[in-house]
Amino acid sequence: MRRPLLLFWLSMPANCADSPGWKKKLKQIKVEAFTIGVHFMKVPEAVKSAYMAALKYRRVAFATCSKDGVPNTVPLGVGRFLDDETLIVIDNYFMKTRKNIEENPRAAVSFWVSEEKEGKVITKEGYQMKGTVTVQESGPLYDQMKAEIKAIRADFPVKAIVLMKVEEIYDVKAGPDAGKRIA
């Protein structure tokens, strides 16, 4: 996870060594970049598969929070992982969710995979992911996702895509491991 550090490094002005306090600033940038770098993680394949299985049956809840601390949860039905660390959520009808993201770019998503056996609903697995979110309303990735979503549901507006960099993953399946951090 060295990319953020490299980006910060490249953005340093060439004459930074001449400016007063540059060493302190550089140290701070390094610490911030390292902090960002270590937060991101590789989401295990099993968790990614569980997400897609849960999404198929609309067993995904996406939570945001206003700057004043008012929580909000909405069901999700479309989206996918972009890569091993980034979840793409599709903003078709977000209202409070979108406002919250703009004023507080943190989100959590809980999802679970269940099946019915002998009249009982058994949850096979369930996870919670937390992370930082950014919004894209244009650009190549937005265009690609819009085309993908429109191919499934032409009536979905795809107002924006929300990219969630996963920073923490917890097990939420009822049992001894419920609530334990797994990554």
Ligand X SMILES: Cc1cc2nc3c(=O)[nH]c(=O)nc-3n(C[C@H](O)[C@H](O)[C@H](O)COP(=O)(O)O)c2cc1C
Q: 147 forms bridges with which residues in the sheet?
A: none
Q: Does 107 interact with ligand X (rule: CB under 6 A)?
A: no
Q: Is the dihedral of CA 129, 130, 132, 136 positive or negative?
A: positive
Residue 124 burial (CB count, 10 A): 11
Q: Which of residues 75-104 bind ligand X (CB under 6 A)?
A: 75-78, 90-97
Instruction: Give the count of beta carbons closer than 10 Å to the beta carbon of residue 122.
Output: 10
| Residue closer to ligand X, measured from CB, 75 or 175 | 75
Cβ 14 to ligand X, closest distance in Å? 44
Structure tokens at 116: 């019915």
Interface of this chain with ligand X, residues 123 to 142, rule: CB under 6 A: none
Residue least distant from ligand X (Cβ): 95
Smallest gap from Cβ 34 to ligand X, in A, equals: 34
Enumerate residues 52-71 that contact ligand X by CB under 6 A: 58
Residue 98 Cβ, how far from ligand X at the closest point, in Å?
6
Q: Which is nearer to ligand X, 43 or 162 (CB)?
A: 162
CA distance 139 to 136: 7
Closest approach, Cβ 130 to ligand X, in A, equals 18
CA 100 to chain centre: 14
Beta strand 86-91 with 79-81: parallel, antiparallel or unpaired? Answer: antiparallel
Dist CA 42 CA 83 (whole Å): 9
Query: How many residues of this chain bind ligand X (CB under 6 A)?
Result: 15
Return residues touching ligand X (CB under 6 A).
58, 72, 74-78, 90-97
